[in-house]
Chains A and B, each alone.
Chain A
Amino acid sequence: GPALAEKFGLGREALPEEIAAWNVDIAPDGTGLPAGSGDAFTGEEVFAEACAICHGDFAEGRDNWPKLAGGEGTLADKDPLKTVGSYWPYLSTVWDYVNRSMPFGNAQSLTADEVYAITAYILYSNDLVDDDFVLSNENFMDVELPNAEGFIIDDRAETEYPIFNVACMSDCKESVEITMRAAVLDVTPEDEGTEAEEVAQTETEAPAAEE
């Protein structure tokens, strides 16, 4: 059983300034948002400067870099396009992730107002607000993303575990046919990875890992 909590007296108390520097996560209810604001129009300028080189002028994505806008209503399609507008449930995640981890290669370089402005521009790019929309810590919770209700908590215990429990040993099926071959697709790197440039062209038909 669990032992009584024993203190070792190790570590030291964290100072308020230290906690403030690292504790920057934002909850879905907006807890943690700093005071500030930014409008979509300003966001467009910041985005052009700091983000568009990878994510495109309209947040539509360049090359294989993530698309931040578009894909509305595609989640049940064969190839869904998952973006902030089509997939993400909470705006808090946008603010939090941009603030903490973007731009890629120069993270934590944006001011709070810039993050508000970029967030507003991403909303505009997804046709969720007008171009004069001003986002602030005051009205942040008024914005609901389209896919807010699109998630369910892991239900494998109900939908899978009760049926994945049979281990047939013989006469399990009458016939077996090969229905698909990796060698036909031929996208596996050869030795030393020299084929990588060639196979990159096939990426549209070969579903890639997320990123």
Chain B
Amino acid sequence: MTDDTKDFAPSRRQFLSGAAAAGAGAVAGTAASAAGPDPLITEKQPWAQELGAGVDETPYGLPIKYESDVVRRNVEWLTADPISSINFTPIHALDGTITPQGCAFERHHSGAIELRKEDYRLMINGLVDKPLIFTYDDLERFPRENHVYFCECAANTGMEWAGAQLNGAQFTHGMVHNMEYTGVTLRTLLEEAGLDTAGDLKDKWVYVEGADASSNGRSIPMEKALDDCLVAFKANGEALRMEHGYPVRLVVPGWEGNMWVKWLRRIEVTDHAVESREETSKYTDTLEDGTSRKWTWAMDAKSVITSPSPQMPIKHGKGPLVITGLAWTGRGAITRVDVSKDGGKTWETARLAKPGEKMALTRFYLDTTWDGEEMLLQSRAMDDTGYVQPTKAQLREVRGENSIYHNNCIQTWWVNKDGEAENVEVS
């Protein structure tokens, strides 16, 4: 081990064993040791002689075809139909923190609707001084803000409560995306309607609903509504995608994705929570004794190693290895991520690509050397409240196995000697 690290170029023998383990594909992936001149260099390649695509070929481009596996995936057995359903962001294959909109997960309750800006209306009613109707154009005339936030489905990792089930970070942790939003603060719009009528705002709520058939109505305490909620119409620089709420969605930083109402059509100031279907039947968390928590809004600190992972095996053999992943918290900023290679016996602190930002995904790296032995990889996030991401056993101790939502447990990947990884639970 110590000897290997001095030698940056692995021996021919190491190279061959690594290639044999991972298959022929690995040969093209390393320049560690050349048996002879590389024809990709010594022979003229077509792309170095012929012409590429013109600038008029692709007015709006998609990723190159060789990246066709970096797509949203569905797990059909999770839901009764694909309309009120979920798909998963390919987080295993992404890096950095910004999620490309085209592969950012979707969760609909009555499908992704097509709503033109011209047909869009936003109503503010209830305990306001003057109920208002806004058009889309009206919204663009209010002062704007830009913020990067993660949106995590309350059910992310929910299938893993009873055990290790789905084999891949995309499926276990991919109900999350992270975008830069542009919009108007909800506070600005509420103040435009006027809140004097509402009186003491401490016990007031806003009820928000979408224009789709499901409506997805949710109650939000006024304190949060006036704090940092955003009525957003742009994400990652462009209009929202249809499936993400075009033309307008609500952004509720740090809180469960269900409350990020898409195709937002109405905001009602009330003196009570509506206790709608999405905050009674759903998005309530049943504990072991049969009682259930309601209004579990914040998403707690969480992390996952995205590579290596079941969909991202180690193909390069022993030697330098980048362990990377994502961490996030709905209660502030990530301050530290630790990584274990032995199932939690010992930990080392990873490097954050950037200091953690409030309610946004944070990228971490552990630049390490793989000795070719089995690993039980784990990551553990910490946030600026002092909260430490728990194990699944710790969560089950408090909640049992039936809470469905809010599973932020430490994930374990078992990496075998061939570099393949599997979703496991450990003692």
Contact = CB atoms under 8 A, between A and B. Distances in A.
Contact of A181 (B125, B164, B300, B387): B164
Interface in A47-74: 54, 63-66
Contacts of A182: 164-167, 310, 422-424
Top 3 nearest A-B pairs (CB, nearest first) are A176-B343, A75-B290, A76-B290
13 contacts: A12-B133, A18-B133, A87-B292, A105-B83, A107-B110, A107-B214, A159-B398, A161-B387, A169-B346, A169-B347, A182-B167, A197-B76, A209-B159
Interface stretch (A33-41, A135-143, A184-192): A184-192
B268 A25 contact: yes
Interface of A: 2, 5-8, 10-14, 18-19, 22-23, 25-29, 31, 54, 63-66, 75-76, 78, 80, 82, 84, 87-90, 92-93, 96-97, 100-101, 104-105, 107-108, 150-156, 159-161, 163-183, 185, 187-189, 191, 193, 196-197, 199-200, 202-203, 206-211
B275 A209 contact: no
Contact of A12 (B132, B159, B213, B402): B132
Contact of A13 (B74, B110, B131, B423): B131
Given A89-B280, A167-B382, A193-B74, A173 B215 contact: no
A171 B345 contact: yes
Residue in B213, B214, B295, B394 whose Cβ sees the most chain A Cβ within 10 Å? B213
Given A154-B297, A182-B423, A211-B80, A189 B388 contact: no
A156 B256 CA distance: 15
Contacts of B214: 101, 107
Contacts of A65: 80
Interface in B219-241: 226
Nearest to A176: B343
Contacts of B180: none
A187 B277 contact: no
Contacts of B77: 187, 196, 199-200, 202-203, 206, 208
Interface string B256-287: 00000000011010101011110011101010
B281 A93 contact: yes
A196 B417 CA distance: 30
Contact of A154 (B125, B213, B293, B336): B293
Contact of B387 (A88, A164, A176, A193): A164
Given A10-B134, A180-B424, A185-B163, A76 B74 contact: no
A140 to B, nearest CB: 14
A121 B16 CA distance: 70
A13 B77 CA distance: 47
A51 to B, nearest CB: 14
Interface size bracket, B side: 35 or more
B371 interface: no
A89 B279 CA distance: 10
A97 B281 CA distance: 11
Given A13-B131, A97-B276, A208 B125 contact: no
Nearest to A182: B423
Given A10-B142, A151-B293, A187-B75, 8 more contacts: A11-B193, A13-B133, A84-B281, A90-B275, A97-B277, A164-B394, A172-B345, A193-B73
B426 A179 contact: yes
Contacts of B191: 5-7
**Which among B77, B133, B386 has the highest number of chain A CB atoms within 10 Å?**
B77
A18 B138 CA distance: 18
Contacts of B290: 75-76, 80, 150
Contacts of A14: 123-125, 131-133
B11 interface: no
Nearest to B158: A209
Given A156-B300, A210-B404, A93 B345 contact: no
A8 B141 contact: yes
A164 B385 CA distance: 11
A19 B125 CA distance: 7
